[in-house]
Structure 1
């Protein structure tokens, strides 16, 4: 599993945390070097006649979000904002809008390489403060494995970053097993974060287009489906050394865990034997989950459900729902726990 066994240097050999602040594992980036690298799909930043910005990815257009000059795009602005918020180290990751899982594999691979080069360059300007997670062309599993190997071995990135589903495949699809095995061999965790519902695929539930429910509810829906695929679908059983981290506390995991457990206790035909034998709780507690749930009550329920051993701090830094220093302050007694957990998950050393 480790670098010692495979000739791959561990991330701890590459990154030493140099700030006493907390570690933030949930922060996305939009970087100039990767703009236009997916061909006709962009990504493209532009401005309308009234001066308002837009961000286009294929046919999907995000209006009113200004990336240029922000922490999303400028590492210096990001680190200054981290200092103000009390964040010591941050893992920067792909913007979920730019997963490109339905793009042709060649274009998706070209974009992933450009984006990973850009993330490595940004992190390299601030060693000990920024680390990067790899964008991957998951529609082509061999290409995704090759790019993850390049990203870890040559660029020093510390994680894989993927969507909650891969085109028409769910996370427990057998053809993804080689990818999970590669992550274990490279000794890097896999982070899972949803993209906006229906962004690139068939028409989705139009009710989720109201009130930003694709973000408010759709993300939680997809994250919960990801938990089900990883646990019921046997990914964690087949890959006992795999570390997987889900955003936003795993969606509705804390609320539906009891119903999941009841399904195992009163098994139906689809419930796998390993869950009947071992119980579901041991698998749910294998998942790493971030704290970005926006409510002290929700966080308490999450802790009551899965404990704190695999809880890590996340902010969606500079995003629409980020609170910066407020979120850091709200950690309270969890500050040291989540920071130690994150250092372990990302295989980081401490100065």
Structure 2
């Protein structure tokens, strides 16, 4: 099996690697136990009760066996969203990303028939992120850039143009996925601290904002060869589509290039969307908006919300072929 002939390709699968522990200085990451319960620490944030060691998150043989049971042929492994480290001092973030990418490349190269890897990047220092992406792709053979939705500057900040140009130059896709707000950056609304709403609704909000920022900030217009994949179907994009489109035509700040009939849908149709959405009706609405050519399968493999078995929801779409185009495979 390989990426070239895989029938089921999962592009949403995070990995945790022992070799990265302690490489971000005081921010960790660190995996310990308290009263027999595993505790994953990132700075002052603690995630309790998630079994990383001995699970598919950390053990590649356990992962591959679980992939076999789930009917998944090949996975793109990506950074753990808890460890984007986009808001910590740049030196610690750079050190973590270098070790992460070295380890990710070794992991993927040991099982290229089943696994590929995406690069973690220190986005608080754009020149350093560019340098690390070049190293990760050209020297280590990683297949994609992977970043969070939030960092000290916006996705539409002028400083990011050089980064996007490098992504295009290296001919790799850019994956954007949220992290729980407040781990190493600004805190979210206190309302999101209840019931894990920071993950269930906060992620949706961050993804929706990221899509709108790329659109209204002109990023997709300035970089027509840029391939960006947004997790979880782009958040609430399909639902708020009409409101955003109305703003594109009516608000004075909306960029001129969106005023042309069809330009709004054309721009959003250039994004790629991971269909890990848990709702066939929501997916059907997304398909109505953007079509199927840029949909890819994702699972959040081994996570709390991962499906037990591969299933294409109510569609006859060549998702693996889409993933191969996205991954240049």
Q: TM-score, normalised by structure 2?
A: 0.97
Partner of 1:253: 237
What value does the CA root-mean-square deviation take over the aligned residues? Answer: 1.3
Matched, 1:290 2:271: no
Residue 270, structure 1, aligned to residue 262, structure 2: no
Maintained 8 Å contact 1:100/1:108: yes
2:328 match: 347
Q: Is the 8 A contact 2:4 2:324 kept in 1?
A: no
Q: Which residue of structure 2 aligns with residue 321 of structure 1?
A: 305
Q: Does 1:74 align with 2:59?
A: yes
Instruction: Find out whether 1:105 has 2:105 as its counterpart.
Output: no
Matched, 1:162 2:143: no
Matches within 5 A, 1:6-25: 16-17=2-3, 20-25=6-11
Secondary structure in 1 matching 2:135: helix
Cα shift at 1:261: 1.1
> Are 1:194 and 2:178 an aligned pair?
yes
1:153 matches 2:138: yes
- Aligned partners of 1:317 and 1:324 also within 8 Å: no
SS in 2 for 1:115: helix
Within the candidate set 202, 205, 215, 1:231 is matched to 215
SS at 1:62 equivalent: strand
Hey, what's the Cα distance between the residues in 2 that align with 1:320 and 1:19?
29
**Is the CA contact (8 Å cut-off) linking 1:19 and 1:129 kept in structure 2?**
no
Q: Given the alignment of the two structures, is residue 47 of structure 1 paired with residue 33 of structure 2, yes or no? A: yes
For structure 1, which runs of at least 5 residues remain unmatched after alignment?
1-14
Q: Show the counterpart of 2:318.
A: 337
Equivalenced residue count is 328
Larger deviation, residues 269-278 vs 156-165: 269-278
Q: Deviations over 1:20-43 (max 9, x none)?
A: 430000010101111111111110
Give distance in 1, aligned partners of 2:157 and 2:116: 29
1:64 aligns with 2:44: no
Name the counterpart of 1:33.
19
- Structure 1 position 18, deviation (Å): 6.0
2:43–2:183 CA contact under 8 A, matched in 1: no
Gaps of 5+ in 2: none
